[in-house]
């Protein structure tokens, strides 16, 4: 049975899109997740929403208990995760307000718990294709049909945060062929892969980081303003995509 976890980023922590919504408090072997789970249905599909940074956005990126979050969704039976996240654009064509569905990541974090297999037998999880290509295809199809500007099959680099990049770092990340930058996709995506959950990121471009000489360097206020402005587009995307997931023959490698 398909169950879908939605991990909300800034401005999308708890969208009012669920029928018969209720809250479920859970504990995990890794501690408490970032928030209670909000459970309900969309078009008959069971949905669990988790606020990555807490309901009131009080958890810093480096303090997010990613293992507890993914474990909690897996324990509820989630087979798929749609994860909303704010990103800075490292490419001219990815304008603020555009959506990005990455298919690759670069891990530039330093102090996060990145695996469930730190104890016991050694496990080496394949990570060549960390994001579910079928979810990317469905999201792209829905975005195109809704007229939402998007870019698929791009690379996201995740940094530790909570500070933003220096100009030198921003230019370096561009030279590494990264297309967008954020503070949350890693280790969320690789933990989901370890739990054999199909995962796709719905990344909202909020700014041009600080590499773009003609644009103002990113600020937190800028990120929040763009996220709030575009949250409706992401909600419309979720509502259009989720029913299709149940009909799609998902052959994503596990």
- Which residues are annotated as catalytic? 207, 209
Taking residue 65's Cβ as centre, other Cβ atoms within 10 Å add up to: 19
Q: How far apart are CA 161 and CA 158, in angstroms?
A: 9
The region, left, alpha or beta by phi > 0 then psi within -120 to 50, assigned to residue 147 is left
**Residues 64 and 114 sit within 8 Å (Cβ to Cβ):** no
Q: What H or E segment, with its residue span, contains residue 159?
A: strand 155-159
Question: Which residues partner with 180 through β-bridges?
Answer: 89, 156
Q: Are strands 19-24 and 3-8 parallel, antiparallel or unpaired?
A: unpaired
Q: Can you tell me the distance from the alpha carbon of 105 to that of 100, in angstroms, rounded to the nearest whole number?
A: 13
Beta carbons of 130 and 190 less than 8 angstroms apart:
yes
Tokens of 18: 């669920």
* SS3 state of residue 241: helix
Contacts from 171-175 at CB under 8 Å and sequence distance 24+? Answer: 171/211, 173/90, 173/106, 173/108, 173/209, 174/90, 174/91, 174/211
**From CA 79, how far away is CA 20, in angstroms rounded?**
21
């Amino acid at each position: 049975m398909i169950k879908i976890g939605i991990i909300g980023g800034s401005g999308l922590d708890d969208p009012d899109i669920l029928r018969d919504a209720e809250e479920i408090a859970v504990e995990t072997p890794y501690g408490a997740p970032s928030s209670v789970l909000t459970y309900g249905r969309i078009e008959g599909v069971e949905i669990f929403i988790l606020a990555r940074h807490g309901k009131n956005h009080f958890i810093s990126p480096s303090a997010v208990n990613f293992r507890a979050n993914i474990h909690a969704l897996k324990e509820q039976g989630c087979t798929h995760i749609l994860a909303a996240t704010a990103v800075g654009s490292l490419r001219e064509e990815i304008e603020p307000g555009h959506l990005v569905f990455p298919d690759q990541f670069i891990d530039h974090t330093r102090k996060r718990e990145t695996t469930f297999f730190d104890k016991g037998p050694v496990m080496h999880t394949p990570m060549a294709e960390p994001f579910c290509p079928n979810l990317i295809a469905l999201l792209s199809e829905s975005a195109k049909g809704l007229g939402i500007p998007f870019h698929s099959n791009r690379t996201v680099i995740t940094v530790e945060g909570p500070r933003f990049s220096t100009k030198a770092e921003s230019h370096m990340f561009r030279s590494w062929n990264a297309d967008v930058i954020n503070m949350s996709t890693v280790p969320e995506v690789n933990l989901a892969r370890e739990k054999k959950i199909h995962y796709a990121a719905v990344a909202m471009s909020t700014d041009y980081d600080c590499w773009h000489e003609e644009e103002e360097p990113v600020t937190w206020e800028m990120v929040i303003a763009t996220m709030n402005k575009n949250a409706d587009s992401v909600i419309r995307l979720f509502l259009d995509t989720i029913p299709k997931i149940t009909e799609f023959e998902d052959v994503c490698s596990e």
